[in-house]
Amino acid sequence: MSAQPQKPYRKNVHLTFPPEISGNPLVCNLTRLFDLTFNILKAQITPRKEGYLTLELMGDEANCTKAMEYLREHDVVVTPVAQRISRDEEGCMHCGMCTAICPTSALRMNLENRTVTFELDRCTACGLCTRVCPVAAMHVELENGHY
């Protein structure tokens, strides 16, 4: 029996860079030092030069953990995206409006039971769903009042 190919480890993280380190090539080093690849899901820099970056990381799980330690040692605040978003399960009425706007299909209509499923692992905390939900069931932690 042939072995199933291993699913690559993926993790979405949100990084906050204080102004004094915003010019350092820390993110490039994730590839060089830890053999990780990444997609930039969202990037923002404030007028005060504080940087925000949401990344999808791919690679070895142990290396990913080491890479997060490396970033923290260099004063980057690392927050798993899953800690920044939540759904009010009691409040959601499964209308499906958010499924049309969610760019990653983290919110999807289950056609069998007509309920909307929420897959945290796919979420990038972009905040789009919070703008269309008629009952404000989706919550995303804000940065300086902006998504």
Binding interface with ligand SF4 (CB under 6 A): 85, 87, 92-98, 101-104, 106-107, 116, 123-129, 132-133, 135, 137-138, 140
- Measured from the CB atom, is 67 or 85 closer to ligand SF4? 85
- Measured from the CB atom, is 23 or 103 closer to ligand SF4? 103
Minimum gap (Å) between residue 20 Cβ and ligand SF4: 30
- Measured from the CB atom, is 15 or 26 closer to ligand SF4? 15
Minimum gap (Å) between residue 85 Cβ and ligand SF4: 5
Minimum gap (Å) between residue 2 Cβ and ligand SF4: 35
- Measured from the CB atom, is 26 or 133 closer to ligand SF4? 133
Residues 37, 58: contact at Cβ < 8 Å? yes
Residues 128, 103: contact at Cβ < 8 Å? yes
Minimum gap (Å) between residue 143 Cβ and ligand SF4: 13
- For the stretch 84-89, contacts whose Cβ atoms lie closer than 8 Å and that sit 24 or more positions apart, written own/partner, are 84/14, 84/125, 84/140, 84/141, 85/120, 85/123, 85/125, 85/138, 85/139, 85/140, 85/141, 86/138, 86/139, 87/118, 87/137, 87/138, 87/139, 88/135, 88/136, 88/137, 88/138, 88/139
